[in-house]
Amino acid sequence: MQLPLLLDLLLAALLVIGTAFALIGSWGLAKLADFFKRLHGPTKASTLGVGCVLIASMLFFTFAPGANGASLHELLITLFVFLTAPISAHLLVKAALVLDPGARPAPPRQQGRQKSA
């Protein structure tokens, strides 16, 4: 089986980008110092990595020889992961703040004049 060269290159680029993002995100999860720094790696990078891999899969199964029509069902996972990743990150931060209330930064000092009452 053969794919057109341009499509082949596009798929290869998507795979490399997605894999690099996922690997860097997981590396950040393993390496960074405390929880709130660790949260940055996976929530941003992994979602983009999975997105690239899913787009690559979608293109592959659409244009591979023997495919019948567009293969759009990967969009389900892409949409679901993109919708749920911020929600789970938000819930994780709330859980971390409950476990360690000292991690919450101090509220900002009130700026300007005090309101006369």
Partner 1 sequence: MIVTTLLPFAIAAFTLALLLNAYRLLRGPGLADRILALDTLYINSLALLILVGIHFRTAVYFEAALVIALLGFVGTVALSKFVVRGDIVE
| Binding stretches for partner 1 (CB under 8 A) | 1-3, 8-9, 11-12, 15-16, 18-20, 22-23, 25-27, 29-30, 35, 38-39, 42, 46-47, 49-50, 53-54, 56-57, 60-61, 64, 71, 73-74, 76-77, 80-81, 84-85, 87-88, 91-92, 94-96, 98-100
Query: Could you tell me the smallest distance in angstroms from the CB atom of residue 105 to partner 1?
Result: 17
Q: How far apart are CA 84 and CA 45, in angstroms?
A: 14
Cα end-to-end distance, the chain, whole Å:
80
Q: How far apart are CA 94 and CA 65, in angstroms?
A: 48
